[in-house]
Amino acid sequence: MTARLPRQALGSAEEAAVVALALGGDDTAYGELVRRRQEQIRQLLRRLCRDAALADDLAQQTFVQGWRRIHSLKAPGAFGAWLRKLAVNTWLQHARAPGSRLERSLEHPPPDETGEPTLAEQLDLDGALAQLPVPARMCIVLAYAEHMSHREISAVTALPLGTVKSHIARGAARLRELLRSYGEQHVG
Amino acid sequence: MSDEIDPGLMRLFAQAREPLPAQTFLEEVTRGLRRAQRLRLLWSAATLAAIAIPALLLTPFVVHGSLSLAQFATQRFGALPAALMMPTSWLLMMLASVWLLYRARALAR
């Protein structure tokens, strides 16, 4: 049986220690990991999806999958990268499904529930990203939003390093082209 | 870093990042995790039942088969099976096993 930490101690514990507890079957520790990582995973999926509600659905799926598969995690220190890979795979599975909400959302972007455009919409970044092909969009988001190196992206996406470099170079050029109307003072 | 990164685009991605309210999302994930935990529990119970029920049903046949085999061995080989089941025989067999393990150095640390 794993030792359980009080909630306050969990909140201030090192992530690797919390991951080790979650690996031992402590669901409260896994809940703490969800609390810590939810912002990062939701942001990543929002950039990839363009649809905030869909991004949150996929983030929820990612965390539930993570709970089911946490025993496959090799080292507690690799939890962040492992979870990110899980999120990207969840998104890819959804993107490849025929008639997915993602594909529909790209054709007809859903209006924001509040009626207020989000900051990303104001910058027109998500609209421009949505016009990139799926692999290029994925590589661009991982490089620019997640600050991952080309090699890390290659490992996460299982794409060859040369392909990743090419997607990022071409994708960034296309993004700059699409965002030109936004203004030279912000891009390039 | 050798990776080519456009600082302008990097700035734009940083600007587009805005804080997200966590409360509703965390409640949704908690509900999803509880559902997954219930499913796992049901699955474990179903697996246990799938093993235990056939085992219970087969037990009488297995016991009956073992008894028949023991009876056959007693009739066929006379007193030997009965002798093997005596406490003295068990003790001798255990001593022999320990000696074998000792010889094989299996008990050495």
| A188:B8 CB<8 A | yes
For residue A126, give the amino acid letter: D
| pLDDT number for residue A20 | 93
Largest CA distance in chain A: 60
Q: How far is B52 from chain A (nearest CA, A)?
A: 25
Residues A38, A168, A140: CA angle, nearest 5 degrees: 20
**A116 contact B CB<8A:** no
**B20 contact A CB<8A:** yes
Quick check: B45 pLDDT over 90?
yes
Structure tokens at A39: 């912002």
As a whole number of angstroms, the distance between CA A3 and CA A5 comes to: 7
Structure tokens at B78: 């006379």
As a whole number of angstroms, the distance between CA B63 and CA B55 comes to: 12
Counting as low any pLDDT under 70, the low residues of chain A are 1-8, 99-123, 181-188
| pLDDT number for residue A102 | 52
Q: Which domains does chain A have, with CATH numbers?
A: 9-110 (1.10.1740.10), 112-188 (1.10.10.10)
Radius of gyration of chain A (CA): 18
Q: How far is A154 from chain B (nearest CA, A)?
A: 12
Q: Is the dihedral of CA A115, B27, A14, A84 positive or negative?
A: negative
User: Region B16-40: what's the mean pLDDT?
Assistant: 91
Q: What is the length of chain A?
A: 188
Quick check: B28 pLDDT over 90?
yes
Structure tokens at A55: 């991004």
Answer yes or no: are the C-beta atoms of A128 and A122 closer than 8 Å.
no
Answer yes or no: are the C-beta atoms of A139 and A153 closer than 8 Å.
yes
Q: For chain B, which residues make up each domain, given as ranges?
A: 20-77, 79-109
| pLDDT number for residue A7 | 65
Q: Per the confidence metrics, is the pTM higher than 0.90?
A: no
As a whole number of angstroms, the distance between CA B109 and CA B101 comes to: 13
Residues A42, A70, A7: CA angle, nearest 5 degrees: 75
As a whole number of angstroms, the distance between CA A139 and CA B13 comes to: 13
Residues of chain A contacting residue B13, judged by C-beta atoms under 8 Å apart: 47, 125, 144-145
For residue B80, give the amino acid letter: L
pLDDT in tens, B53-77: 999 999 999 989 988 887 887 788 7
Annotate A28-86 with DSSP letters as a single string: HHHHHHHHHHHHHHHHHHHHHHS-HHHHHHHHHHHHHHHHHHGGG-S-GGGHHHHHHHH
| B26:A38 CB<8 A | yes
| pLDDT number for residue A165 | 94
